[in-house]
Each structure stands twice: as structure tokens, then as C-alpha cells.
Structure 1
Amino acid sequence: MSLIVAAVLLAAVLVFAVVRPRGLPEAVAAVPAAALAIALGLVSWDDAWAEFRELGPTVGFLAAILLLAHLADEHGVFQYAGRAAARISRGDPPRLLVAVFVTAALTTAFLSLDATVVLLTPVVLATAARVGARARPSAFASAHLANSASLLLPVSNLTNLLAFAASGLGFLAFTGLMTLPWLAVIVVEYLVFRLYFRADLRVREQPRPDAGNGPAPAYALTVLGLTLAGFAVVHPLGVHPAWGAVTGAAFLAVPHRVPPRTLIREANLPFCAFVLALGVVVLAVQQHGLESFLAAIVPHHADLLGLLAVAFLGAVLANLLNNLPATLALLPVVEARPGLLLAMLIGVNVGPNLTYVGSLATLLWRQILHTHDAAPHPRDFLRLGVLTVPPALVAGVLALWVSLRLAGIAD
């Protein structure tokens, strides 16, 4: 009975997060559900508090990186990226797709998938119109790469942050192991996109008037570069990367004299509360049967078959539960084995490209396209997901297997 009640609470939270009635934040359902789980004794207060303390630094980093991305946008970083993509494409749709892939992959890796979805997607749509290319290939690329290109750095995705905190790996070690999988997944995505959108990429439309070419936002790009370098430097010293993100955000905020109210709004505190509350609700499901079930089916060795099994399991759970609760559910089972933990990340980061409900970022991307009169067809999303996700998972896992062997990590 406890498992049924916990599962109902989790389902209610996830349905609310997907539907978001009247645009209400996800925390409106998650916080009461977490409180109810504690009140009903599904999770003890001590366990809930321990979960809050474990997730706290990661959630703090999430708030800081969201703020950093917003301030980068205020400095014109994303508009500059759009102008650079337009210039590189020279009006050629296939070249534009390459430029969008590179821009979206780097944006996702360095500024998180939320920056790609919220800030880069509108720029991508405008850039396609500017050069006279159909928007569909570039628009779908921003959604897919927001998920699959988030494999590279611990800061690229909330799922990465959670796994990084549990892994015991250093910042550079994590990045080194995930570089080959990151590249492999992006290459597979690009090849499938060229095939799937071949008709769109042959069409040339009337370009819209050129918005001009402004100077590069040198100050903002310098701050972002130093912030990224700081992540790698401070972690071995025992300093949480969140402080690096806060410092970078402060340097970007000062020249524009951003009001404190704006800083608080862009840190998205309701979403941070959602993550903390969701952690408690998932913990209730774990403690009443899910963790023991996953422990029974997850492989115990990080050989190639074990890595593939965990990656595909992560992808399935991401599309059933959403990738964030899937990560929270799988972490206790795989955190003792770095290879399996990183394979899980490939699954929960690439897998959401199969369905809309796989990640909250994808749902947000769909909303953004609706507001720009470029609503994606669900059939297109599913077809493209079926073509990209399985081969991307296999390519990413094979690359991870090679990385683990090169690094001398057998399990």
C-alpha cells in the first residue's frame, strides 16, 4: 500500500509538471506532495532532511547557472551566436544546420540545456528566417541537442550535476570520460538529421531583412570563458562549482546594474523548490520497492553489455518517469560503479529525444515553438526520436566503453 500511495504522488507530480495548468510552476504540486509523503510516514523527516542536504548544493548550482545564462543573453551572447551562424552558413541551409549544431552543442555543454531551449531556440528560428532556410531542421536540432549534447560537462544538465556529486570523479576526469560519448552522439544526430530533413535542406526561401552585424560581446565571452575554467580549477580545491557560477553571474550583472528582483526571478527559485520536493517524492517510491527492483535488474559489471543495458534502462525510465526522477531513482543503484553511472547518464540525457515527456526541457521547447507560430508536429518528433535515439545510445555507450578502457577504469 505504501508503494501504491508513493507512486500515485509521483504520478500526480509528473502529470502536473507536464501539463502545467494555467502556467503554474511545477512546485505547486511537488511541494505539497513531498509534505504529504512526510506526513503519511512514507519518508521520515530525517531521511527527507538528508535528501535536502544532499541535493542542496546541486540545486544552488542550478539557480546560479540559470542566472548566468540569462545575464549572458542580456549581454547579447546568443544574438551574436545567431549572427555568427548566419554568416557561416552564407545562405546555404545545410551549412546553417552545421552551424546550429555547433552552436547548440556548445551552448548546452557550457551554459546548460535550459539556455539552449529558452534562449537559443528563438535565435535559431530568427536566424533561419534571416538566411532564407526552413526553420524545421534547426528548430528540432535545438531540442535534440539540448538533451543529447548535455553529456560533456558536469554543469551541462541537472542530471549531470546529480551524478557528478555522487560519482567521486573530478571535474576534468568526468569531462575526459564523456568527451568521446558527447562527440559520438552529436555525429549520429547530425547524420540522421541530414537524412530526415533532406527535403527541407534543399529549399531556399526569401530571406528576411538583415538585422546587421554588431560587435562580439567580448566582455561577456571573457567572463564566461573564465567561469568555465574556474569550474575545473576550484573543484580539486574543495570549492563547490556553484561559487564559480555565482562569481561569473556577479561580473555579468554589475555592468548592466541588474535589479535584485530580476536576479531572483531568473534564478527560478520555484523550479529549485520543485527539484528538492521531487527528490523526497522519488525517495518515497525508492524506499518502498523501486530501489530493490532496480538493484535486482541492473547489471553489476561495467562490461559493454552492462553499459548498454543501463543506458537503455535509463532511456526507458526517462520516457516513463521523465529524466530527472529517472536519475534520482537509478543513482543509488549505480553510484558505486563509475562506468554504469556514466552509462545511465547517456540513457537519461539522450533518451528524452524519443518523446515529449522525456525531459522538462523538451516540453518547454514545444511551448516556445508554439509562441513563435512554429508548433512542431508530434509525429515528426516521434519519428525523429525513433531514428536518432537507439543509434545514438549505442554510439555513445561504445565511445564510453573506449574511454573507460583508455582511462584504466574496468568497473
Structure 2
Amino acid sequence: MAVFRPRGVSEAVVAVPAAGLVVLLGIVPADAAGRTLRELAPTVGFLAGVLVFGHLCDEAGVFAYLGASAARAARTRPRRLLVLVVVLAAAVTAVLTLDATVVLLTPVVLAVTRRSAVAVRPYAYACVRLANSGSLLLPVSNLTNLLAFSTTDLSFGRFAALMLLPWLLACSGEWLGVRTYFRRDLPNAGEAPELAQPAAPRYALAVLVVTVCGFVLLSSLDVPVAWAAGAGCLLLLAPRFARRDISPRRLLDEASLGFCAFVLALAVVVDAVARHGLGSALAQLVPSGSSLAALLGIAFLAALLANVVNNLPATLVLLPLVAANPAAVLAMLVGVNVGPNATFGGSLATLLWRRMLPAEERPRVREFHAFGLLSVPLIVAVATAGLWLGVRLVGV
């Protein structure tokens, strides 16, 4: 259901009954299922809030402004534009989650590249690759990060400090990979028309900055960051109340309540699988300790599992096995965030990206997987080495 979405039906249509079935059959005790749902509820609540916040930023013109600014700064040079798209995608992913990059930024980038008369492929790939790899930096960047962060004693700031070097290395690796693989589509210079620069949405940009600061502050106070996302939404909605320019139904749609229900139900189903064989089998494969070899082993195991069963189930299965060691948790995140760039099925964000591209611009299956298999193992290794160095310098 997540891959094909027939007639746009939510994945929850399958996941929720499946979760109910495993509880009714006693595969997962009802109290254990209830505990799982309670533990995940704040995380899923934040996910809904930040999806609405990203949508409101888009309606305020934030993404159109940033995309046009990147195009003007590139000055008709395709390679310079690629650098700016990578930086922009990495920043949007880190602050507003990978869904914002896939759903909101990608269409803007495609429109900008068409108007700039440059090849679309490198920039479309940059968006999806940075949506996954660029989500390493902050606890709020990816649902996998949120799930992992809730099991550790790391503060928001320490998480970011430990992941800063892996994030920089992964983003640099993605830029180098796209530039090298698509070098024929990236001439040194081009003849692009001058693009009009939309007015800066100053209020929305200010709210964005304040909201991100709120994430850091509330996390340091051990307050759920969902409150910051909610406050950001209210601040962006405030000017629209007077104009009566608000559609509650549209906001509910943007909150992706079906996907949120899917995440909660999937956690119960994955618990069932882990309780009855998969957990013990993987426990034999997960290295112990925080040595470079151990962290590499965890990252590559997580990357492999993500590409086999998707990164969200992989996170839910592996997290209990590594939760006692924060360094191992972060290595797992390198695997489940960077690793899914190897295949279409590795991440729900990649599936969504492929589905939303115009038919003439969808990547060929062979091309996508060849690029992924050539570049992802090296980027996973380099980012994990950066994490190991960060753990030694910063400590956990």
C-alpha cells in the first residue's frame, strides 16, 4: 500500500487492521501495544505539526523565494546551481524534515531548473538524495531521528553536535556523487534567462527562525517539541485569521493523519515480528561497543535492512537492540537515513518523490539503482567514520 497507493488510499487501511489483528490473536499483548502507542504519540504528534508548518511556509512563499534566490545566485552556471540546491535541500531537510524537501521544495527546484534552461535530472536527484542523507543533523529532521532520540538521554544540542560532521560529510558526498555521475548534464556555464525575484516573505522567515529556536529551547527543557511546531503554525495562521483565509479541512489533510495512524500501527506490527524471531536473529548480528568497526557494522546492517524492508520498519526493529548505546543508535541512523538512497523502496520519501515527478522526468530504474549502489556504501562509510570521530571528540 505504501508503494502503490491505489486511488490515493492511505497505508493505514492495511496497517491499522493488521495491528488490531496481532493484538486480538495475542501475538502482542494488549498492554504492550498500548505502551508502544503511548510512547510514540508525542513523536507522531510532532510529525503532524511539522507537516502542517511546512505547508504553511510553502503557502507563505518561503520555498518559492528560496528557490528563486538560489537560481539568481547561480548566475546561469549549472554547477553552481547544483551546489546551491544541495545546500538548500540539506537546510530544508534539517529544519523542516525530509517530507518538506520532497513534497514542497522539489517542485520549486524543478520549476526553477526548467525556467533556467538547464537539465533537470541532477537537481531532481539532489533533492531526493539530500532529503534522505540531509536528515542526519537534527532530531526533528526525520521520523527515524525522532524515534531514536526519544530512547536516548542526549539533549537536542548534543545530538546535533555529534551528527554535525556525519551530516556535512554525507551532504558533501551526495553533492560529489551527483556532480560526478551527471557530469554531462552539468556544463561549466549556460545561457539562462534572468529570473524574477519574488519579494521576501519576511514574517514567515522570521517565524521559521523562531520555531527552530523553539525546538532547541524546549528540548533542552525536556518539553515536547510538538509545542514549538504548534506555536509556529499558530503564528503563521495569525495574519490569515483576519482575512478568513483558512481551510481547516486542508490543514487536516496536510497533517497526514492517515500516515500518522500508519506509523502507530506499524510500530505494533513490527513489535509482533520482533517478538517472534526477527529480533533475536538480528541481535546475533548487531556488533557491540563503539569502535569504528562496530559502528560501521551497525550502519551497514541498518542500511541493508532499510533497503529490504524500508527504513521505518528497520528503525523500529533495530532500535531496541542498540538503545543502550547512544553511539550505536546514531550509527543506526546513518544506515537508515543514508542507506535508503540505494533503492526505490528504501524510504517512503523516495517512493513519494518518484510518484510525484512528471512521467517524462521520472528516473529510469536501472539508472537510479546503479547510481545508488555505486555511491551509497562509500557515503555510509565516510559518514560513520565522521560519527566515530565525533563521539571521540564530543563524547556521548
TM-score class, shorter-chain normalisation, is over 0.9
**Which of 67, 71, 94 lines up with 1:82 in the alignment?**
67
Q: Deviations over 1:232-280 (max 9, x none)?
A: 1111222100100100011011223322222211111000000000000
User: Is the CA contact 1:133–1:204 (under 8 Å) kept in the aligned structure 2?
Assistant: no
Q: Deviations over 1:275-313 (max 9, x none)?
A: 000000000001111111122211111100000000000
Number of residue-to-residue matches in the alignment? 392
C-alpha distance in structure 2 between counterparts of 1:213 and 1:370, whole Å: 25
Deviation at 1:408, TM superposition (A): 2.9
User: Is the CA contact 2:42–2:226 (under 8 Å) kept in the aligned structure 1?
Assistant: yes
Determine whether 1:35 maps to 2:20: yes
User: Is the CA contact 1:134–1:205 (under 8 Å) kept in the aligned structure 2?
Assistant: no
C-alpha distance in structure 2 between counterparts of 1:219 and 1:200, whole Å: 37
Deviation at 1:204, TM superposition (A): 7.0
Identity %: 55
C-alpha distance in structure 2 between counterparts of 1:387 and 1:191, whole Å: 12
C-alpha distance in structure 2 between counterparts of 1:347 and 1:397, whole Å: 9
C-alpha distance in structure 2 between counterparts of 1:403 and 1:321, whole Å: 29
C-alpha distance in structure 2 between counterparts of 1:262 and 1:234, whole Å: 28
Q: Secondary structure at the match of 2:186?
A: helix
C-alpha distance in structure 2 between counterparts of 1:402 and 1:205, whole Å: 40
User: Is the CA contact 1:134–1:203 (under 8 Å) kept in the aligned structure 2?
Assistant: no
Determine whether 1:380 maps to 2:380: no
C-alpha distance in structure 1 between counterparts of 2:386 and 2:186, whole Å: 29
C-alpha distance in structure 2 between counterparts of 1:176 and 1:205, whole Å: 39
Residue type of the partner of 1:368? M
Determine whether 1:356 maps to 2:344: yes
**Which of 220, 231, 256 lines up with 2:240 in the alignment?**
256
Runs of 4+ in 1 over 4 A off after TM superposition: 203-207
1:286-297 alignment, distance < 5 Å: 286-297=274-285
User: Is the CA contact 2:72–2:194 (under 8 Å) kept in the aligned structure 1?
Assistant: no
Question: Which runs of no fewer than 5 residues in structure 1 stay unpaired?
Answer: 1-15
C-alpha distance in structure 1 between counterparts of 2:306 and 2:58, whole Å: 30
Match of residue 312 from structure 2 = 324
1:81-230 alignment, distance < 5 Å: 81-202=66-187, 207=192, 212-230=196-214
Match of residue 4 from structure 1 = none
Match of residue 224 from structure 2 = 240
Note the aligned Cα RMSD (angstroms).
1.3
User: Is the CA contact 1:34–1:277 (under 8 Å) kept in the aligned structure 2?
Assistant: yes
Deviation at 1:203, TM superposition (A): 8.2
C-alpha distance in structure 1 between counterparts of 2:29 and 2:189, whole Å: 61
Q: Deviations over 1:125-161 (max 9, x none)?
A: 1111121110000000001000000000000000000
**Range moving further from structure 2, 26-35 or 256-265:** 256-265
C-alpha distance in structure 2 between counterparts of 1:92 and 1:113, whole Å: 26
C-alpha distance in structure 2 between counterparts of 1:235 and 1:109, whole Å: 16
C-alpha distance in structure 2 between counterparts of 1:280 and 1:85, whole Å: 43
**Which of 345, 351, 355 lines up with 1:367 in the alignment?**
355
Deviation at 1:380, TM superposition (A): 1.5
Q: Deviations over 1:341-387 (max 9, x none)?
A: 0000000000110000001100000011136x412111111111012
Question: Which runs of no fewer than 5 residues in structure 2 stay unpaired?
Answer: none
Deviation at 1:167, TM superposition (A): 1.2
Q: Secondary structure at the match of 1:202?
A: coil
Match of residue 12 from structure 1 = none
User: Is the CA contact 1:31–1:274 (under 8 Å) kept in the aligned structure 2?
Assistant: yes
